[in-house]
Amino acid sequence: MISVKKMMAAIVTFGFCVSMSVAEGRPLVEITLVNEGRPSASIVVAQNPTPSARLAALELQYHFRKITGAIVPIRTDREEITGPRILVGQSKQTNALGIKGADFKSLEYLIQFRPDTIILIGRDWQDTQENRKELGRDTYGRTIQSSRHQIDYHKATGQAGQGAKPITLPGFFDDQGTCYAAYHFLEKFCQVRWYGPAELNVVMPSQKTLTVRGGEIRRSRDLKHIHALGGGWPIIKVQWDSPNGDELNLYWRRLRIGGEKWAGNHAIWTKTVREVFNNPEYQAKGRGSGSQLCYTNPKLVQDVARVARDYFDGKELRDGFKAMGDYFAVVPDDNYSWCKCEKCRRILDISEEDKRGEGLFSNARNSYYIFNFVNEVAKEVRKTHPHKFIVALAYSSYTYPPKGLELEPNICVAPCLQICYGYDKKTYYENDLAIYRAWLEEGDRPLYLWNYFHHPMEPAVIGKWNCFPCFMPDVISREIKRYYKDGIRGVFLCGIGQQLDYYLYTQTAFDVDTDYKELVDEFFTLYFGGASKPMKTFYYRISEINREEAVVGTSREKSWAMLGTPERMKELGVYIDEAVKLAGTDIEKRRVETWKKGVWEYMKAGHHQFYLRENQ
């Protein structure tokens, strides 16, 4: 695949015309969309556009207005159009040019410049009665339909004064190539940056004339799946200016959360055990009864295979199970209360001989036992649905590939790796890397990742104390590029703790040619203006401290005795004080305040609480 950077002919300074082309021999075309505050082009959609095209058109119109003050009109393909036009999604006009949405693969999109015409198109989900019936529940257990959020677009974009504008967003896992094209266009040609869901977080130029110049870009997203929701934890909630639900749901489209259909999570748990497999024969013997099942019971294998077949045949997806597209998850409940029957005990004895990862969260102690069951289910499903996949998490005590067990080719595995320990190489990271490499060597099967991004924030939230944060741009960039190079199809990102690292993660997952240093430099320059230098120093210094100590602040002692020492806190405070003084405009001051309150004051409170406890 040709990288986005190689596609670019040139990128001119922020706020001016941007050039980009991938079509060798195709001359670059220059089009003025707004001239001295007056619209000179039209946005064109079909009479009944797809949800993706409808959203894309509104997003273009909104951002053009924010940049120039002009309202570029949205027209339908039944109207007579004069002057330059932006064709958004499939319409009569794109049909006449020989370009149709069906010509694109899933997740693929096109940006094409022609004389007086810009084409933004890709494969889009069609809102039909039949398509709305599609079965599926994501990794959270939410139906595919539930991610087609209904929002008030004007409320979500700070235009409530114009009256309500209710729309239905494309679902996270619906094809939305036209939206991908529009967002890529706004980023690369109009220099729009979405650093968060609130209006305060959006950066774009201010100019009366908007002229764009380019050739052709045709590409697909790099990691095919990224599921990464959140925003309620202390630091990021303040950095994001406490967004409402509509703002969040719109923001996740702008970051292109979603992608191809895949789901993987604990699926055999209390609800499925009681409501789907309410059979005494299936219950685990011992304390696991009611939560775990007897994973050596041959009848259970047949029953789980039947539930999977019913899903793949489009009949039903029983409550509690997670499955989307070609993938059906078979993952036990999140505990170790395994069955104590004689047969299970025998296999567990074999399994527990594997000492890889012993003493760490991710190990091989129960790998043979769990994957033996998954394998039997996959073997049955393969008889009738050879091109469908059974999803297994490689998690906790069954993280390593099982020794002595040849896995069926229709098993898709998602190793659970702790990217948040990227600086702590003495414990989790090296073990996780060994797990990752072991699964890469396990044969040609689709691999996804459950990527832990939750420490140190999660234990602090649960324990109701404040941690020393971990900022890690180099780790994020290195690991996602590694995933793409190794053929990982996608990730479920577990935990979102901080504004910039989340943005970097999602941007790199979509385009692995993203340079983290350039992205970080651009963020601080555009976001904080006059206060950019001390704010960037503050950010990188926190990152350096985590790297120097090679620990993650998952306890009060690690956070404040090792990382946030009094000397370091004094140093960090100097940067924040300087940033407050240097912030010039009102919006710069407000943005600095979100980091001062969200990050620095949060840290100060944690530091104070720790040393107050120590001195009592």
Q: Please state the three-class secondary structure of 180-191 as a single string.
A: HHHHHHHHHHHC
**Which helix H or strand E contains 305, and what residues bound it?**
helix 298-312
> Domain 4-124+175-220 - what CATH class?
alpha beta
Query: Is residue 253 within 8 Å of 153, Cβ to Cβ?
Result: no
**In this predicted structure, what is the pLDDT of residue 4?**
30
- Coarse DSSP helix, strand, coil percentages of the chain, rounded to the nearest 5 percent: 45, 15, 40
Q: For the beta carbon of residue 567, count every other beta carbon within 10 angstroms.
A: 8
pLDDT in tens, 308-349: 999 999 999 999 999 999 999 999 999 999 999 999 999 999
212: which strand partners?
31
For residues 374 and 384, what is the distance between their CA atoms, to the nearest angstrom? 16
CA 42 to CA 63: how far, in whole Å? 14
Cβ 452 vs Cβ 552: under 8 Å: no
Are 329 and 273 in contact, with CB atoms under 8 Å apart?
no
pLDDT digits (tens, 9 = 90+) for 180-189: 999 999 999 9
Q: CA–CA separation, 466 vs 555, rounded Å?
A: 9
Task: Give the three-class secondary structure for 281.
Answer: coil
- The pLDDT value given to residue 616: 66
pLDDT digits (tens, 9 = 90+) for 341-365: 999 999 999 999 999 999 999 999 9
Query: Is the torsion defined by CA of 497, 498, 501, 504 positive or negative?
Result: positive
**Beta-ladder partners of 109:** 122, 219
* Positions of the chain with pLDDT under 50: 1-24
Strand order in the sheet with 327-329: 258-259, 225-227, 490-494, 448-452, 411-417, 389-394, 327-329, 323-324
Query: The tokens 């968060």 sit on which residue?
Result: 196
231, 238, 236: which is closest to 257 by C-alpha? 231
DSSP codes joined into one string, 342-404: HHHHHHHHHHTT--TTTTSSS-STTHHHHHHHHHHHHHHHHHH-TT-EEEEEEBTTB-SPPTT
Cα distance between residue 473 and residue 544, in whole Å? 11
pTM greater than the 0.75 cutoff: yes
First to last CA, the chain: 61
Q: How many helices (H) and strands (E) does the chain have?
A: 21, 22
